[in-house]
Chains A and B, each alone.
Chain A
Amino acid sequence: MTVPRILARLSAVAALASVVVFGATALLPSDAVDARTGGRATAAEQDRLRAELGLDRPVWRRYADWVTGLARGDAGRSLLTGRPVGDVVAERLPATLTLAGAAMALTVPLTVALAWLLGATAGRRSRAARPVGGLVTVAAALPQVVLAALLVTVFAGLLRALPPVSLLPAGGSPLDDPALLVLPALTLAIPSAAYGATMLGGAVADTLRRPHVAAAVARGVPARQVAARHVLPFLLAPALRIFALLAGGTLAATAVVETFFGYAGLGELLAGAVASRDVPVVQAIALAATGVVLAGFLAADLAAALTDEERPC
């Protein structure tokens, strides 16, 4: 695919994703007013509230307003506090980016190592590799909550080595006390790396099975050269694609982990906003996370275009 086509496709997907996000929060029969008033308000009060929030206008108008607002950098105001959503998000963003960054810094090397292990032993049915495959499968299936609970039980409950909750000091940065980051980052990284490894391991196995790799082995090309010259270039695009997916998943999972550990980040904000039906906040955060995934896909597609076998040279 050419670069313009990649961009066109991604913008289409981004537009669709914004429709999905908006539609999921706005289109369903019970709207934010129902949820906020909990059915206790009279019909007149509800109507007044709807008019105030602009919910009485047609859906497409609201969507258009929302999108044009986003284009201007205005994501609306929080229904709960009345503050601009942009400010609320910007306040929490650094903490979450730090956590997600730390998690990804663990995830990426772990994914690569596990994927290589799984992929390289896929055809061999070796005894050593089978338990690894099982462990990875289990780790990918563990709910983050469970992993968090187990880690807390072991490191905070039994070993008392790390704090069970990660409460950020007011106005402080998580980097002031990196110990706070350890358990949340591990909780995010382990299932994510395992999930990524099952996918990337498949790509590794597929590439290793390609005839030119087997031919290089038959010619006696040293293993390291085979990996660097004949295998890794083919894994660049899938790896980037998988990392984009993992980044999006990690960002979404911060909601669980931050809530669990009491870490004041974007995820906790999102969970709270969902609980209080603060629609504009939910929409903004959801779209931002989707944006991260799409940006990752963009990078992956561009890398794929570079390693495209059809390119003339």
Chain B
Amino acid sequence: MLRRPALAVPARRLGGSFRGRPGFLVALAVLGVALFGGWFAPHDPGVSLGIPWEPPGGAAVLGTDDAGRDVLSRVLAGGRDLTLLALVAALAAAVLGTVGGLVAGWAGGRTDRVLTGAADVLLATPFLLLALVLAVSLPADAAVVAATACGGAPLGLRLTRDLTRRARGTGYVEAARGRGETTASLLVREVLPSLAGAAAADLVARFVMALQLTAAFAVFGLGPDTHSPDWGVMLHQNLPGTPLNPAAMAAPATALATLAATAALLAHTLPNTNRPRPPDNDPRHHAPPLTAALPHTRPGAAPGDRTHEQRTASLGTRPDHAHRAPGDRPPRRAALLAAVLPHTRPGAAGPTPRDRAAVFPRTRPGAAGAAPDDRTRRRRAGLLGTRPERTRRAALLAAVLPRTRPGTAGAAPGDRARQRRGALLAAVLRRTRPGTAGAASGDRTRRRRADLLGTRPGRTRRAALLAAVLRGARVGSLGRVRCESGLGGGLVVNGLTVWDGGGRVLVAGVDLCAAPGEVVAVVGASGGGKTTVLRTVLGLLPPNLAVDGTVCWHGAPVPGGRAGRRWRRAHVALVEQDPVATLDPLHTAERAVLDGRRVPVERARSALAALGLPADAGTRRTGRLSGGQAQRVAVARALLDDPDLLVLDEPTTGLDAGALEHVEAAVRSRRGGTGVTLLVSHDRAFVERVADRVVDVGPEPVPRPAPRAATPTGAPVLEVTGLTLARGTATLLDDASFTIARGELVALTGMSGSGKTTLLRALAGLDPPATGRAHLNGRPLPWALRDRARADLHAVQLVAQDPAGALNPAHRIRTTLTRALHAARVADAPKRRPPGRDPAGALKPIRRIPTTLARALRASRAASTRESERQRAGHRVRAVLRPLGAVGGRGRVARVDADVAGLLRRVGLDSGVAGRWPGELSGGQRQRVAVARALAAGPVLLLADEITSALDAASAASVLDLLAELRAAGLAVLLVTHDPAVAATADRVLHLHDQALVPQAPPRTEKSHVRPR
């Protein structure tokens, strides 16, 4: 069935979802047996064979039942009606729940309250009870369907509603709104596909519910009559005969249990489909857990109404689940190896001998082909997670490695050998596929390679280490932090290097030491790994990062695991970034400061007073304190016991001058004492005042897009006057005016929460502001999306911050871009300017819609003889028909593909990306695709919201390059950022402060912060 050419594309997707998921096939098989098992019954299930409850053996394999009928035949035949009924009931419940949830989640407001309220009432009544009550006035089958719908639909409704609400705020839905798609189209094209996994899981879960009901009804005697074979009825009838023939009970029970269990397990695994894999270079996935944003953790929400099922189905990426995009199946290792191996042999395409000599400086030819139990190889295998002689993989690895590098085996022990091995592995795997080494992370090849070696990227320290080695890192200590004895007191850190799950360097060779009584400050660019250094020193590194180097505390290694925890409790005090979140919201300030330590409460009070907190603050819950107060509570908690090692991560952000003074005094008072103080801050002035020494975890400046000489700016593209923005009751921006000219890159900076994103979303039409006027190309631009003309919609495009939610995980890149291109064409058919082919044309100012239409009509009349006429008409027809399926011939497909490829080229991506799923791309690649999608509409103004903040430095720099290029082509860009390095690439900077937009010069003098990784 899967081979038929007509089904080629869907079959591939289907096949993709089946492969590696034997569960699907098992479930199908079980369902098949339940439905069609009767065909294989050896006897007529209705005919008596002998005495009742004859034990197994003889004519009846499983014995006989209460009327002497064959148990096996009755079990085989007894599943059909039950399963069919449960399927119908499940379908009813799932459809009701999904549709209700879509409506409630999308509409929001009163509709949402009414629907979820109704769902709550239904949920308060146990559904078995509801079924019984309904059975009073309905036939049993109808009661089962109705009760499953009443009891199950509310669950599905709540789940779908939550997912829909979340999907509504994602970048891909907002982008679709921004190009003027209708609600129906949004729901069907964007929201529903991303819910498909959850909806399917819901259907299966409802099937289980319905099965439970049907079985119960059989026991009540409400189900089918006693003659028809039915598992539930059999259980009821054969209970008295259990001692005589246990099989008469066990067989139908097992059959029902198998069906229910298979379905439940299927539902348990289903929500994983269609969700993005956590990109392994997205810093948020290896950020310290404290700063990691967990989209599905909603503090304060009633956890009772969020079932496990709901959470696992959440769209948020969870690192602990295998997010396997459909179509991304585990590669066939054998085939891959066959492809890989020929190239690994010496002499194959690769670097010249001299290069090789550089990689392997000390080749020892004599040692080639050492015994296989050689220690080095075993260690190497251990590093890669394979044990020698155990697996084919290990054997293969062993075969590959000696041949590639004659002489490694049996090389000198110690660090050098290990380093060489690292280089060796890098060489082997690089040379394996010369074109792909060092490709972007998340890259499929790298993943395959890691899979080949039995590790998955982004999960474990070993995988990160391997990734680092693959990228050419030299690993000295097999990814463990060492401590060499004989180092002095205090904290000594030498050559500390940390790699992320994708093998990129987060911290490069940091050296620092801090003696007792010293305050040492760690400074450096944001994203430069300062926090990572602190956490590594404390042994708090997330498990998916690899680490190498020396960390000693008073001449001994920092213990790990439980001992590490005791060590931290006894010796370390920590003030983390965003300290407010580290306070238990249920505790009072005093209780938080004491932190369970046996210390009189007066000391907590005096500690709070010493930091300038008001007297009544101690008895207030930490959640009721202001941000600055809560921050000082965290500092007081850290200072309470005069800790041996005090670690402060950005302790001053958000403090006003008075509070800052108190904190500064507290830190300075540790100088000359007995404790070590380690401090991370970007506030250079503060650091200079309190620190004895400053360690720069070194930005190494690299060329980054030089700010262009002020381009002669054209006419203003956007003029905004009298703009007032509010969030809730707070005014964010009061009566502000600004303009953006053609070909201008304007950066918008400001504190977090100052309203930068709100301003951008207002301009994008997503959240209309309170007051203000906007003009686009001299014409008034309405605020709300629905009031904007199509051309205006396309002229202003937003690229949002979150690369994870920017692209619909259910669509390939090609689909996403084709859709965007298509929407642009529908709006602006006569101009026919696929931006990929005509970048300059894409930026022409948009005319008024009436003009456009008039021109279109005129042009089409004049050009009626031309071939393009038919094409244009075809465009419109296909535009209408497109939602119905594949309309349009091969030529159209080819042209669209060319357009998509052109778009991708414009944002610096390979056209092969078109066939990928978003989950297979790195954060940087996804952000580029998001830009490409915006460009597809042919905007004159691009609104970019922190589009580099979630990217590593190299990807960020390349995205900024892209923006610079686009600007040079005449696009106006408004870029929200908090990073001075990013702002430095702009022509102008607008600083949002105190409800006003203050023009600033771009911070050109500041040291560059972007460095390679």
Binding site for B on A (CB under 8 A): 13, 16-17, 20-21, 24-26, 28-32, 35, 118, 122-125, 133-134, 137-138, 140-146, 148-150, 152-153, 156-158, 160, 164-165, 198-199, 201-203, 205-207, 209-212, 214-223, 225, 229-230, 233-235, 237-238, 241-242, 245, 248-249, 251-253, 255-256, 259-260, 270-271, 274-275, 277, 279, 282-283, 286, 289-290, 293-294, 297, 300, 304, 307, 309-313
| B133–A286 touching, CB < 8 Å | yes
Tell me the smallest distance from the CB of A144 to a CB of chain B, in Å: 7
Tell me the smallest distance from the CB of B697 to a CB of chain A, in Å: 20
B122 at the interface (CB under 8 A from A): yes
| B129–A13 touching, CB < 8 Å | no
Per the 8 Å Cβ criterion, residues 219-236 of B in contact with A are 219-222, 232, 235-236
| A312–B261 touching, CB < 8 Å | no
| A210–B239 touching, CB < 8 Å | no
Knowing A141-B261, A143-B212, A164-B239, say if A30 contacts B128 (CB, 8 Å).
Answer: no
| B302–A238 touching, CB < 8 Å | yes
Report how far A313 CA is from B590 CA in the complex, Å: 11
Please provide the 9 A-B residue pairs with the shortest distance between their CB atoms, ordered closest to farther: A220-B568, A220-B569, A141-B264, A215-B582, A241-B304, A252-B126, A149-B253, A157-B246, A203-B303
| B132–A270 touching, CB < 8 Å | yes
Knowing A21-B125, A234-B586, say if A313 contacts B621 (CB, 8 Å).
Answer: yes
Per the 8 Å Cβ criterion, residues 551-583 of B in contact with A are 564-570, 572-574, 576, 578, 581-583
Report how far A156 CA is from B241 CA in the complex, Å: 11
Residue pairs across A and B with Cβ atoms less than 8 A apart, 19 shown, are A24-B133, A28-B137, A122-B320, A138-B264, A144-B216, A145-B218, A152-B242, A152-B249, A156-B242, A157-B249, A198-B308, A215-B576, A216-B582, A219-B569, A233-B586, A237-B303, A275-B220, A286-B125, A293-B126
Chain B residues with Cβ below 8 Å from A217 are 565
| A28–B138 touching, CB < 8 Å | yes
Main secondary structure of the interface of B (DSSP, over half): helix
| B126–A251 touching, CB < 8 Å | yes
Report how far A148 CA is from B249 CA in the complex, Å: 10
B642 at the interface (CB under 8 A from A): no
Segment with Cβ contacts to A, from B71-79, B289-297, B445-453 = B289-297
B599 at the interface (CB under 8 A from A): no
B880 at the interface (CB under 8 A from A): no
Chain A residues with Cβ below 8 Å from B992 are none
| A141–B132 touching, CB < 8 Å | no
Q: Please name the residue on chain B nearest to A208 by beta carbon.
A: B297
Report how far A198 CA is from B310 CA in the complex, Å: 11
Chain A residues with Cβ below 8 Å from B239 are 149, 152, 164-165, 260
Binding site for A on B (CB under 8 A): 120-130, 132-138, 208, 211-212, 215-216, 218-222, 232, 235-236, 239-240, 242-243, 246, 249-250, 252-254, 256-257, 260-261, 263-265, 268, 289-290, 294, 296-297, 299-300, 302-311, 319-320, 538, 540, 564-570, 572-574, 576, 578, 581-588, 595-596, 619-621, 623-624
Chain B residues with Cβ below 8 Å from A274 are 132-133, 135-136, 220, 222
Q: Please name the residue on chain A nearest to B128 by beta carbon.
A: A252
| B235–A149 touching, CB < 8 Å | yes
Report how far A181 CA is from B586 CA in the complex, Å: 42
| B297–A209 touching, CB < 8 Å | yes
**Which listed residue, B221, B242, B294, B320, touches A153 by the CB 8 Å rule?**
B242
| A220–B565 touching, CB < 8 Å | yes
| A20–B128 touching, CB < 8 Å | no
Chain A residues with Cβ below 8 Å from B219 are 145, 256, 259-260, 271
Report how far A28 CA is from B146 CA in the complex, Å: 12
**Which listed residue, B130, B136, B290, B304, touches A277 by the CB 8 Å rule?**
B136
**Which listed residue, A17, A211, A253, A279, touches B128 by the CB 8 Å rule?**
A253
Report how far A16 CA is from B309 CA in the complex, Å: 27
Chain A residues with Cβ below 8 Å from B240 are 164-165
| A256–B586 touching, CB < 8 Å | no
Report how far A141 CA is from B212 CA in the complex, Å: 8
| B132–A138 touching, CB < 8 Å | no
| A229–B126 touching, CB < 8 Å | no
Chain B residues with Cβ below 8 Å from A158 are 246
| A137–B264 touching, CB < 8 Å | yes
Knowing A225-B596, A249-B128, A294-B124, say if A214 contacts B137 (CB, 8 Å).
Answer: no
| A289–B320 touching, CB < 8 Å | no
Report how far A137 CA is from B208 CA in the complex, Å: 11
Q: Please name the residue on chain B nearest to A268 by beta carbon.
A: B220
| B250–A150 touching, CB < 8 Å | yes
Q: Please name the residue on chain B nearest to A271 by beta carbon.
A: B220
Chain B residues with Cβ below 8 Å from A28 are 134, 137-138
Tell me the smallest distance from the CB of A251 to a CB of chain B, in Å: 7
Chain B residues with Cβ below 8 Å from A230 are 584
**Which listed residue, B138, B304, B620, B624, touches A199 by the CB 8 Å rule?**
B304
| A220–B304 touching, CB < 8 Å | no
| B260–A142 touching, CB < 8 Å | yes
Chain B residues with Cβ below 8 Å from A31 are 137
Tell me the smallest distance from the CB of B463 to a CB of chain A, in Å: 13
Tell me the smallest distance from the CB of B462 to a CB of chain A, in Å: 14
In this complex, the member of A137, A158, A248, A294 whose beta carbon has the largest number of chain B beta carbons within 10 angstroms is A137
| A153–B250 touching, CB < 8 Å | yes
| B132–A282 touching, CB < 8 Å | yes
Q: Please name the residue on chain B nearest to A156 by beta carbon.
A: B242
Tell me the smallest distance from the CB of A111 to a CB of chain B, in Å: 13
**Which listed residue, A32, A133, A221, touches B595 by the CB 8 Å rule?**
A221
Q: Please name the residue on chain A nearest to B619 by beta carbon.
A: A313
Report how far A133 CA is from B302 CA in the complex, Å: 23
Q: Please name the residue on chain B nearest to A277 by beta carbon.
A: B136
| A300–B304 touching, CB < 8 Å | yes
Report how far A231 CA is from B644 CA in the complex, Å: 28
Chain B residues with Cβ below 8 Å from A141 are 208, 212, 260-261, 263-264
| B268–A142 touching, CB < 8 Å | no
| B249–A17 touching, CB < 8 Å | no
**Which listed residue, B236, B308, B574, touches A219 by the CB 8 Å rule?**
B574
Tell me the smallest distance from the CB of A118 to a CB of chain B, in Å: 8
Chain A residues with Cβ below 8 Å from B252 are 149
In this complex, the member of B261, B305, B309, B319 whose beta carbon has the largest number of chain A beta carbons within 10 angstroms is B261
| A138–B584 touching, CB < 8 Å | no
Chain A residues with Cβ below 8 Å from B578 are 211
Chain A residues with Cβ below 8 Å from B290 are 211, 214-215, 218
| A13–B565 touching, CB < 8 Å | no
